[in-house]
Amino acid sequence: MKGAIFDLDGVITDTAKFHFEAWSQLAKEQLGLVLPAEFEAELKGISRTDSLIKILEFGGLRDNYTEEEILAMAEKKNGYYLQAIETLTKEDILPGITRLIGELKDHGVKLSIASASKNAPAILEKLGLLDEFDAIADPSKVANGKPAPDIFLAGAKAVELEPKDCVGVEDAVSGVAAIKAAKMTAVAVGDETELAQADVVVPTTADFSYALFEKTWEAAK
């Protein structure tokens, strides 16, 4: 294993609740919709505009808005989201992640971010982790979002590694599918049944370790 390519939301920090709150505020104010709680999980790993399209489809409103109006609403949601993440600090790093980063670096493993979020650099900065990563793949430069492999392939390329030498780390079904489509080893955190496509699934990020990643990569390669 030469590289570890990380998803951000749900793996390094839990921003899903802030996304959901921001979407809920937008849906209420602009669309008169109340989003069901399941949307928090359903929007994980899904890009900003694709998330809004899902919400519009849920409300039967997909054809009521022009592309321009959709972009303006997505921008408004991002404003609410940015306000919410202002409060993030290193206390919001998920359990075990700081230790894991240290272990991987001690073993010379390159670290890269493959997040659908255009706010990834800002979030990492708030968490005090920006300098720990060798690269952050730019989601605005890839053609297809997760479950397509593009962002994980870009994450590996950014640290000049081949996908087969990398482990991808995810919490979302679409993200695990993206890792497998990229032909990388998939380490996942969350529900074992839901994330069965991964090479290993652990219940919490505290269970992540260099040893687990290396062992899983060896067995899967």
Helix, strand or coil for residue 189? strand
191 annotated active-site: no
Give the footprint of ligand G16 on residues 155-214 (CB under 6 A). 172
207 annotated active-site: no
Residue 178 near Mg ion by CB under 5 A: no
Q: Tell how strand 185-189 and strand 200-202 pair up.
A: parallel
HSE at residue 156, side-chain half, CA atoms within 13 A, is: 22
d(CA 89, CA 156): 27
Give the footprint of ligand G16 on residues 70-89 (CB under 6 A). 78
Give the footprint of Mg ion on residues 158-177 (CB under 5 A). 171-172
Full strand arrangement of the beta sheet holding 3-6: 135-136, 110-113, 3-6, 166-170, 185-189, 200-202
User: Is 21 or 214 the residue whose CB approaches ligand G16 more closely?
Assistant: 21
195: number of Cβ within 10 Å: 22
101: left (phi over 0), alpha (psi -120 to 50) or beta: alpha
With CB under 5 A as the contact rule, which of the stretches 45-53, 59-67, 157-165, 210-218 interacts with Mg ion?
A: 45-53
Q: What's the CA dihedral at 31, 63, 15, 205 to 10 degrees?
A: 140
Q: Which of 4, 9, 22, 205 binds Mg ion (CB under 5 A)?
A: 9
Catalytic residue among 9, 131, 134, 165: 9
Give the footprint of ligand G16 on residues 29-58 (CB under 6 A). 43-48, 51
Residue 155 near Mg ion by CB under 5 A: no
Binding residue count for Mg ion, defined by CB under 5 A: 6
115 appears as a binding residue in the annotation: yes
Residue 10 near Mg ion by CB under 5 A: yes
User: Is 7 or 103 the residue whose CB approaches ligand G16 more closely?
Assistant: 7
Q: Shortest distance, CB of residue 194 to ligand G16, whole angstroms?
A: 15
211-215 long-range contacts, Cβ below 8 Å, gap at least 24?
212/187, 213/1, 213/4, 213/104, 213/109, 213/167, 213/187, 214/1, 214/107
Residue 5 near ligand G16 by CB under 6 A: no
Binding site for ligand G16 (CB under 6 A): 7-10, 19, 43-48, 51, 78, 115-119, 172
Residues annotated within a binding site: 7-9, 23, 43-48, 51, 77, 115-119, 146, 170-171
Catalytic machinery residues: 7, 9
